[in-house]
Structure 1
Amino acid sequence: MAVVKRTVHPIEAESYRILRAEADTTGLPPHTRDVVERVIHTTADPAWQDDLVTDEEALTAGVKALAANNPLVTDVTMVAAGVTAYPATCLVAATATADLASREGLTRSAAGIRRAAKAHPDGAIWVIGNAPTALTELIRLAAAGEVRPALVIGLPVGYVGAAESKAALRQTTLPQLSNRSARGGAAVAAAAVNALLYGDPLA
């Protein structure tokens, strides 16, 4: 069931009809199908269906966390901006984050995640759509018992560390969504969250 009820624009509805003609998602579990289709819709790329690594139980936990108004934390402001109808925490641009990054030799994205973990140690939805270092830091914090996510959406992008950080995520027992390749990005990560918020737009 969708967390947010909304009016679906005819263009979006037609886009979904087209993508369903190009990609057969009928055999996927409900939340998995929602995420796969929303990412394909966002990118106009059906190849995402074979790249995403999903877990229906984890996605269901994410939907429940959103329905309970649990915190949503992102690594960069572009991800937060892409999530509609739900507030997000992003500390990457804060002065205290820059200070921590300089002091500890971290990227600002990783420093923002470290600071956010202190504010939201339990039950948050963590969305990494840009920086592999942010995902690596979140994995480290979880291994140390400093953060216990409801769901980790790990879709950072880049030639350095992106695929590796997502592979590392898949080696954990964290409830998660990821993809195998180096691609990803803010739009894709936000699309995954919106899928859990909205559900099937043609339902």
Structure 2
Amino acid sequence: MNRVVHPIEQESFRRLRARLDTSHFPPLTRAVVERVIHSAADLDYATDLVTDEAALEKAYAALHAGAPVVVDVEMVAAGITRRETVCRLKDAEAGPGLTRSAHAVRLAYEQVGPGALWVIGCAPTALEELLTLDADPALVIGLPVGFVGAAESKAALRESGLPAVSNVSEKGGSAVAAAALNALLYHPTSYSEETS
């Protein structure tokens, strides 16, 4: 099923590309970078994001083969419009040394097992907890936001060697995390087509 792109979105991407040349990025990296920039109106993401095209290709295949998508908060889930997601935050409880977000990640892992795509846009502790599990993810979109632990958790993700999309700075958030996943959902099957 082809996605109908609204004229406002088309114009937004036209203006983005007029201000920033993204043509040097490989196809899926370009799709992620552009959609994240579009979601935040922040051109700095072009140099702040850290991606790997080979990892994105494998994640793209897993996603389109039906791999589960796990999110840390409902705000991320709300931004992912074309796929069901798993979010266990409502079922989670904080405990000694464990935030609700971290507990939610444990509950989600118990539910979905290995091979999922994890989309974390809010809580650095959710990302930190994921790194302690043997989740064998198809991809981790680790874009939590904040002044406490966000940059550090994303650095730990990159150091883990897991297939990932992250960024270097403290910025991030639910909208950009959802946008990165949507880039993979919306990208055409044929990479020769231009991402919109």
Which TM-score bucket, shorter chain as reference?
A: over 0.9
For normalisation by structure 2, the TM-score amounts to 0.94
Cα shift readout 1:102-142 (whole Å, capped 9, x = no counterpart): 3x53111110001111122211000110000000000111x
Aligned length: 190
TM-score by length of 1: 0.91
2 CA distance for matches of 1:105 and 1:165? 16
Match of 1:147 among 135, 151, 154: 135
Q: CA deviation at 1:201?
A: 4.5
Runs of 4+ deviating beyond 4 Å: none
Aligned pairs for 1:56-67 (under 5 A) are 56-67=53-64
- The equivalent residue for 2:116 is 124
Shift of 1:66: 1.2
Partner of 2:72: 75
One-letter amino acid of the counterpart of residue 65, structure 2? A
Answer yes or no: is 1:84 the counterpart of 2:76. no
Q: Which residue of 1 is the match for residue 191 of structure 2?
A: none
Consecutive unaligned residues of structure 2, counting only runs of 5 or more, are: 188-193
Q: Distance in 1 between matches of 2:37 and 2:25?
A: 14
Give secondary structure in 1 for the equivalent of 2:132.
Answer: helix
Alignment of 1:18-29 (within 5 A): 18-29=15-26
Match of 1:175 in 2: 163
* AA of the residue aligned to 2:181: V
Match of 1:44 in 2: 41
Identity of aligned residues (%): 58
For the residue of structure 2 that corresponds to 1:127, the secondary structure is strand
- For structure 1, the 5+ residue unaligned runs are none
2:175 maps to which of 178, 184, 187: 187
Q: Secondary structure at the match of 1:192?
A: helix
